[in-house]
């Protein structure tokens, strides 16, 4: 009879399990926003590095071709030879997937008067002005 009582007393009560589950829920609620913030920062830092790499590739393109890619050719000119570049000696980036930001959207490229700008639409996918500085940009030329 005494063995039976020990086995019965050896388990956890429903109240103890509910308390532990409640504590875990509170800890999860506290930790989740902070973890999401870290992931957001990591993506932004990744964008900065990728944009710098694209800027370096654009400078190599310029040195070999005497001009930056046209707006029509865009950043794809760093991976595939555009018809306008007779001295193209690329690819200047290894893979076309390097032209996508961490959110899966293509990097934006604008050129005017020999000055270019490469930027990401950021997590919102909206134009730069709507991102309020959330998406890093690189200017050169």
Is 20 inside any structural domain? no
Q: Residue 98: phi, psi to the nearest 5?
A: -70, -10
68 contacts 88 by C-beta, under 8 angstroms: no
Which domain, by its residues, includes 92? 43-140
Closest of 59, 39, 50 to residue 119, by C-alpha: 50
Q: So what's the pLDDT on residue 43?
A: 78
Is 121 inside any structural domain? yes
Is 24 inside any structural domain? no
Count up the domains in the chain and report the number.
Answer: 1
pLDDT tens for each residue of 65-94:
888 999 988 999 898 888 887 788 878 888
DSSP state of 87: T
Tell me which H or E stretch contains 118. strand 115-119
Is 54 inside any structural domain? yes
C-alpha radius of gyration, the chain, whole number: 27
Is 9 inside any structural domain? no
Is 12 inside any structural domain? no
Is 94 inside any structural domain? yes
Q: What is the CATH number of the domain that holds 48?
A: 3.30.700.10
Alpha-carbon distance of 47 to 137, in angstroms, equals: 9
Candidate from 17-26, 37-46, 87-96, 100-109 with smallest mean pLDDT = 37-46
């Amino acid at each position: 009879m005494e063995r039976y009582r020990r086995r019965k007393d050896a388990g956890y009560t429903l109240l103890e399990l509910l308390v532990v589950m409640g504590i875990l829920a509170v800890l999860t609620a506290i930790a989740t926003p902070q973890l999401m913030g870290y992931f957001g920062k990591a993506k932004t830092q990744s964008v900065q590095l990728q944009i710098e790499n694209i800027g370096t590739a654009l400078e190599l393109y310029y040195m070999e071709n005497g001009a930056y890619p046209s707006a029509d050719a865009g950043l794809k000119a760093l991976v595939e030879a555009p018809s306008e570049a007779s001295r193209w000696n690329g690819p200047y980036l290894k893979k076309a997937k390097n032209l996508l930001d961490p959110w899966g959207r293509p990097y934006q490229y604008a050129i005017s008067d020999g000055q270019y700008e490469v930027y990401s639409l950021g997590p919102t996918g909206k134009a730069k002005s709507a991102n309020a500085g959330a998406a890093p940009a690189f200017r050169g030329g």
